[in-house]
Amino acid sequence: MKSKQYITVLALCGGMMLPALANAQTDMKAKESKYYSITDVPIPDSVKLEVGGLAFTPDDKLGVATRHGEIWLITDPYQKKSKQPTYTRFAYGMHETLGLAWHEGSFYTTQRSELTKVTDTDNDGKADRFQTIASWPLSGNYHEYSYGPLFLPNGDMIVTLNLSWIGRGASLAKWRGWMMRIKPDGAMQPYAGGMRSPAGFGLSESGDIFFAENQGDWIGSGRITQLDYGDFAGHPAGLRWSGEYGSPIKLTPEQFPDSIGILHDFAKKTPHFKEPSVWFPHTLMGISTSGVLSIDSDAFGPFKGQLLVGDQGHSKVMRAFIEKVKGKYQGACFPFLEGFSSGVLRMVWGSDHSLFVGMTSRGWASTGPKLYGLQRVNFKGVTPFEIKAMRAQSNGFELEFTMPVNKKQAADPGLYSITGFTYLYHKTYGSPIINQQSCPVVKSEVSEDGRRVRIYVEGLREGYIHELHVNGLKSQSGLQLLHNVGYYTLNAIPAGAGPACAISPRSLAAAGDANSRHACGSDPTKSVSVQPPGWTKPDVVLQVGTKPGLKFDVTELEVTAGSKVKLVFNNNDDMLHNMVITNPGKGDAVGKLAMEMGLSGSQQAYVPASKDVLFNTCLLEPGTSQTIYFIAPKTPGNYPYVCTFPGHYAVMKGVLKVKSKK
């Protein structure tokens, strides 16, 4: 689960963005419903089914652990015999049970401070024996949620322990921020570290553990990471216990300066550090990853072996394709199903390969408006036209589709766009998208059967997320892609076995143009970075830098009306910034327009196409600078300048005073 700050953010953006999001969702939900149905499993009014865990019993009853510390047993959740399944309270009185498993005649569930085995010894349908298998300390902080267990094939159990929250993620009690392995006899051992809010984890088809992480401090965006014994997943707070007996990790919190930069570079030189396998870009995919479930059959559509990942805040289920490159997992995430009734936390397979989705949103709002819910997803047997898989190649990707594509159309590389970006790895909550750069797709080859398209891409960067957009591609049968976007986390580029690809100078140049145009707003005349011909020298040179805490280092500049101005903007902060000079009184208005640009914002340096924008720099990465040239306005007055990166304009601003000529 996430922290307070998340709610604040949601509340801030809520009024503006959610209605639009809701409309978009309704459309998409309708399209998705041709292939997958989402139906309610009815819940009696007397039951507050705030789902914390789901597990089927061998007799096909669905066990549901709740945040009130109960375990409910639902008979016939498939509604085969009756529209209203029967609910029986099997157990109660525990403390916020956020995980559930069935193993050899008992339920196992995680309470805040312990792993508990819950048994009905007299077979009257109600639990009467509660045995503590293992326990761990709590500080009494509400954010110390505990999740699990996940049973491993050998009978060992995995639980995860959320960090405490004190305005930042902190490990106030031993092993908070860790994944623990517990033997059947209760012996407990730290398994992996570096977790912040590890609410969801599961096994892949190959039996590897994947856990889902939520955006927050040190975590730029949601993601899933495969963890082996001794791995460190990125949040340093829990490392204060790495010196304790049993810790397999030898890192200490002191090895993590507040602002590190690029996670990939730091991970490479840091022992134990396991990079995220698949990033789920914040707001582009979801906002709070939750349960992880492997698709274990072909009965749920053409995605066997892939992972489903829930999203609590966006009430959706996403899909991840994973592959091993250079010995480590990476892969791509894709949208899958949205429009669930509450915040998606848990998923489990029914015996008929339908998917049961358990939800709660108390204290953590979700786009699905209900406080809690249980829904079931059935595959309708009709294959959707989807990007099934996205595989890294030495110089591009192989896209696999769920059905043959229009081969002629698919051979056009212009159909595919690839953009690389990453996040800052720092103590600050969340991260902007940084180092965004589009990568030219120079060639595409379609396989004989039409199911695979090999795209050749320039400018791929190791350690970066690569966004794929497929624009207008149809299947052989004329269907549009159900979802045409995916995000590949390219931790490693496979060794260069692929054919060298010939790049025509023209395609590179075109891509290069597109790059510069996108990165500096829509009107290049407002962002001239070469001294205009005819100027012998500027009348005035202005220097503006940045200061930490969203500030320009100069908040007042002065020029004469109509003078030739050379402006050097130096971004020496640790975030992305631009500098936009506006018409008098329009600084805030332009800043607001930039926030409303949505996803196109980052493509256009968050510079809105507005007549009130007079001049602007590009969006500058930390530690870079740019010079622009312009003629100062003819009309004297106070011309505001702002950084229009979303959220910055309210505080990051200054005034360009234009004086009349003497």
Least separation in angstroms between residue 5's CB and another protein is 12
Question: Are the CB atoms for 655 and 641 separated by under 8 Å?
Answer: yes
**C-beta closer to another protein: residue 505 or 549:** 549
Query: Does 149 sit behind a cis peptide bond, omega within 30 degrees of 0 on the bond before it?
Result: yes
Least separation in angstroms between residue 224's CB and another protein is 25
Residues that bind another protein (CB under 8 A): 67-69, 92-96, 111-114, 116-117, 127-132, 134-140, 142, 144, 167, 174-175, 186, 188, 362-364, 549
- Coil, helix or strand for 595? helix
Q: Which residue from 373, 353, 264, 402 is spatially nearest to 310, judged by alpha carbons? A: 373
State the virtual CA torsion across 74, 76, 79, 83 in degrees, nearest 10. -60
Least separation in angstroms between residue 147's CB and another protein is 16
DSSP structure string for 465-532? EEEEEE-S-BBTT-PBPS--EEEEEESSPPPS-SPP----HHHHHHHHHHHHHHHT-S-GGGSB-SPP
Least separation in angstroms between residue 195's CB and another protein is 17
**C-beta closer to another protein: residue 95 or 353:** 95
Count CB neighbours of 596 within 10 A.
Answer: 12
**C-beta closer to another protein: residue 118 or 544:** 118
Least separation in angstroms between residue 130's CB and another protein is 5
**C-beta closer to another protein: residue 175 or 641:** 175
**C-beta closer to another protein: residue 174 or 517:** 174
**C-beta closer to another protein: residue 169 or 440:** 169
**C-beta closer to another protein: residue 185 or 448:** 185
Distance (Å, rounded) from C-alpha 391 to C-alpha 455? 10
Least separation in angstroms between residue 131's CB and another protein is 4
Least separation in angstroms between residue 82's CB and another protein is 28
**C-beta closer to another protein: residue 148 or 420:** 148
Least separation in angstroms between residue 497's CB and another protein is 49
Distance (Å, rounded) from C-alpha 521 to C-alpha 512? 15
Question: Are the CB atoms for 212 and 224 separated by under 8 Å?
Answer: yes
Q: Which helix (H) or strand (E) holds 588?
A: helix 587-595
Least separation in angstroms between residue 128's CB and another protein is 5
Least separation in angstroms between residue 136's CB and another protein is 5
Distance (Å, rounded) from C-alpha 164 to C-alpha 167? 9
**C-beta closer to another protein: residue 96 or 458:** 96
**C-beta closer to another protein: residue 65 or 94:** 94
What is the end-to-end Cα distance of the chain in Å, rounded? 63
**C-beta closer to another protein: residue 78 or 130:** 130
Distance (Å, rounded) from C-alpha 470 to C-alpha 467? 10
State the virtual CA torsion across 237, 240, 246, 249 in degrees, nearest 10. 60
Q: Residue 270, class by beta-carbon neighbours within 10 Å (0-12 exposed, 13-18 middle, 19+ buried)?
A: middle
Question: Are the CB atoms for 396 and 403 separated by under 8 Å?
Answer: no
- Coil, helix or strand for 194? coil
Question: Are the CB atoms for 215 and 221 separated by under 8 Å?
Answer: yes
Q: Residue 351, class by beta-carbon neighbours within 10 Å (0-12 exposed, 13-18 middle, 19+ buried)?
A: exposed
Least separation in angstroms between residue 397's CB and another protein is 42
HEC profile for 230-263?
CCECCCHHHHHHCCCCCCCCCCCHHHCCCEEEEH
